[in-house]
Amino acid sequence: MHEQKKEKLIVIGNGMAGISTVEQILKLSDSFNITVFGSEPHPNYNRILLSYVLEGSKTVDDIVLNDWNWYKDNRITLHTTTTVTHIDAENKQVTTDKGNTECYDKIIIATGSNPFILPIPGSDKEGVVGFRDISDCNQMIAAAQKYNKAAIIGGGLLGLEAAKGLVNLGMDVTVVHLMEDIMERQLDHTASSMLQAELERQGIKFAMRKQTSELIGGERVSGLRFSDGSILDSELVVMAVGIKPNIALAKASGMEVERGIVVDDYMRTSFEGVYSVGECTQHRGVCYGLVAPLFEQGHVLAKHICGVDTLPYEGSIVATKLKISGVDVFSAGEFVEGPEHTVIAAKDEWKRTYKKILLHDNVIVGAVLFGDVTESSNLQKLIRQQSEMTDDIYNTVMGTGCCGDGAKKKASVETMSDDEIVCGCNGVTKKTIVDVITDQGLTSVDEIKACTGATRSCGGCKPVVEQILQYVLGDGFKTASKKGICSCTSLDRDEVVAEIKAKGLTTTREVMNVLGWSNAEGCSKCRPAINYYLGMIYPESYEDEKESRFVNERMNANIQKDGTYTVVPRMYGGVTTPEDLKTIADVSLKYDVKVIKVTGGQRLALIGVKKKDLPKVWEELDMPSGYAYAKSLRTVKTCVGSQFCRFGTQDSMSMGELLERKFERLDLPAKFKYAVNGCPRNCAEACTKDIGIVGNDGGWEIFIGGNGGIKSRIADSFCKVKSDEELIEICGAIMQYYRETGKYLERTSEWVERISLEQIQSAILDNLDNRKELVNRIEIALQQVEEPWRKMLNDDKTRTALFEDNISAISVE
């Protein structure tokens, strides 16, 4: 028996819409030989997450949806950096820009869209870019390293995401928008105003109701001239005014096109055997630019092309659920009220939330949510089903019901129908998720994502997926949901450290390769953690990986919401001199530092230093960094103690300076703070510090595990000591034990509760040999950190290289 000959399917476009359709086809049929042509040099990646690549919190590899091996494993031929220029429908072959031809039986066109570049004078200047692909991201990242001012033309989603990324890279960013409201196509005036206010708090500036008439400058852009004659200085201009379907191929081939490639309800074009899906497509007069409709089209097309019965595609109810610069927004259906609507609205300015539901003849026809979008999936379903408003729906959506939040979530999951779509991006239903949990024994959201695609694109459905997982597993959820140090691995902290020691692993890449990381390059969670663990295990031989550090650590300063930086010099024990104060004042005036803040750690923070000025500021201050950005000893807060206070029994200032000088620069799992008091009056607030020390007539009392932050905790009394030498020894042993047993980013307040006070006391107070070993190990670690720091202080080239380094690899926490 001869094997049936497979049809040749060519997919033109390697983006999300086309490859998602291919994924569906692979699930339904094995009857195609598939070839994919993509204009970019990358495998299929998640365009929705480009803003995270821009800001530096993700790398290109982090956003790849289907890597090179996926094409190989599914016997798909992929031609990257290749553009199809013509379809010969009569002879059933395509021609590429490289002059090659290839025959086909069927074609799927998924060429997406292009950014719309305003046809104004100067739009062809250097420094003018769109925001559509990885190449655009790379251009913006490079510009942020050389230039200070950026303008984003367009206040829609893309423009705001670009602005967020460039602010995070340290640029002075202004969003220029023609309309009165940002995101006016998705949000009403109230939600738009709330979003703009929040983004302004994060450092983004806005020029509203401004029409750009010209881009000025020489070879490179230097500014924008508006129609009212005013000028905005800018060395980088990002065009984010919209997209237009990429119909060049279809038009050149003689296919029927209007605004997009015209298709019917089964995504068929005017050419026999040629289909179109995604942003390049026009269905019933509509071109969709959001991701969910593109996947809905792909599901219909996949079934149709495989000969599986399917309902026709009849269009999509557009719903938008987004996280813009950390702010959740949602809209669906109609969102601007008219005289025909009944409006249900609630605005909470303190919690910065807003809800609005529109009814037409008591039918739910639209909604807008800002800040709290927990009911977005429910509202989208109600709008799609044209449900009538009831008291129960009102109480659930507006949050006026009597049940607690947990009960509401459980009830919401229980009442969801099996065919309700949970992940709109990938068309994954509740039943699909429940089935893979029960049939395949899945126990985590990441496993569900790998199996079904749910949460893989925008991630907005992740809370609902987790609720379903919890609902199905019941009491087994907590045990089953043991998490690795990040989504790249199932190994937790202790397992990773044990494997490093057992296998003698010495670099982050070696750890990830040998221990089977799912993401070969790691992520912004695991790379800094592995870097820390390796340095802690091998203090004498490990070479710190600067690229695995967070931006703040790499820049030796804290980035602020406006893109400038805060510089905090070290002031040992909170004590300084008139000479140092004068230096700080002189440098601040010279570099236009607007604010000098006295911090809670008894230091001075220079707020508003420009990125380009950081090397010179540090050079002219000629003071050690206070490490206000580091996972290390930040501050030692002291009272004036027995040197000056009539109540003081111990010299707290001298002890504080001694401890700070001894332990500064040493890497720790998280930031670390001391307080040293000269008497039990506790003016330096030992009760809320990682190590708090209180002097008394007989010596010192040590407290550990305090925290005055989000998770406040009063420190536990650890022990009393009689001498300064014993105090320093025990403090060193505590810090080293924390270094060796703490999870990365775990504060001592959490560490003490996890390990237990009794176990820490046993390891340090009861076992004197172990204490000596801990002290010896911390001394070895301290010896290693001293010379590199002195070298950086004394070597101008080393310091300049540090500050001018590419900061895009790991974002600010």
Q: CB within 8 A of 479, min separation 6: which ones?
A: none
Q: What are phi and psi of 667, to 5 degrees?
A: -65, 140
pLDDT tens, 334-350?
A: 988 989 999 999 998 87
Q: CB within 8 A of 685, min separation 6: which ones?
A: 637, 675, 692, 708
Q: Would you say residue 322 has pLDDT above 80?
A: no
Domains, the chain, ranges and CATH?
7-113+245-305 (3.50.50.60), 117-241 (3.50.50.60), 402-476 (1.10.10.1100), 493-548 (no CATH), 552-790 (3.30.413.10)
Q: Establish whether 103 is an annotated binding residue.
A: no
User: How far is it, in rounded angstroms, from Cα 223 to Cα 231?
Assistant: 7
pLDDT tens, 710-763?
A: 667 888 999 999 999 999 999 999 999 999 999 998 999 989 988 888 889 999
- pLDDT bucket at 459, cuts 50 / 70 / 90: low
Strands 205-208, 172-177: pairing is parallel
User: How far is it, in rounded angstroms, from Cα 666 to Cα 681?
Assistant: 30
pLDDT tens, 411-441?
A: 467 767 777 778 766 668 888 899 888 888 8
Tracing tokens 């813009």 back to the chain, one arrives at 324
The tokens describing 350, both together, are 């303190």
- pLDDT bucket at 686, cuts 50 / 70 / 90: confident
Calculate the dihedral angle through the C-alpha atoms of 375, 379, 381, 385, rounding to the nearest 10 degrees: 160
Find the mean pLDDT for residues 466-488.
Answer: 74
Q: Establish whether 523 is an annotated binding residue.
A: no
The tokens describing 765, both together, are 């107070």
Strands 77-79, 32-37: pairing is parallel
User: How far is it, in rounded angstroms, from Cα 690 to Cα 747?
Assistant: 8
pLDDT tens, 592-619?
A: 998 999 988 888 999 999 988 988 998 8
pLDDT tens, 631-659?
A: 999 999 999 998 998 888 899 999 999 99
User: How far is it, in rounded angstroms, from Cα 469 to Cα 582?
Assistant: 60
Predicted local confidence at residue 793, as pLDDT? 42
Find the mean pLDDT for residues 681-700.
Answer: 89
Q: CB within 8 A of 180, min separation 6: which ones?
A: 189, 208, 209
Q: Establish whether 639 is an annotated binding residue.
A: yes
Find out whether 732 and 663 touch, Cβ atoms under 8 Å: yes
Find out whether 734 and 727 touch, Cβ atoms under 8 Å: no
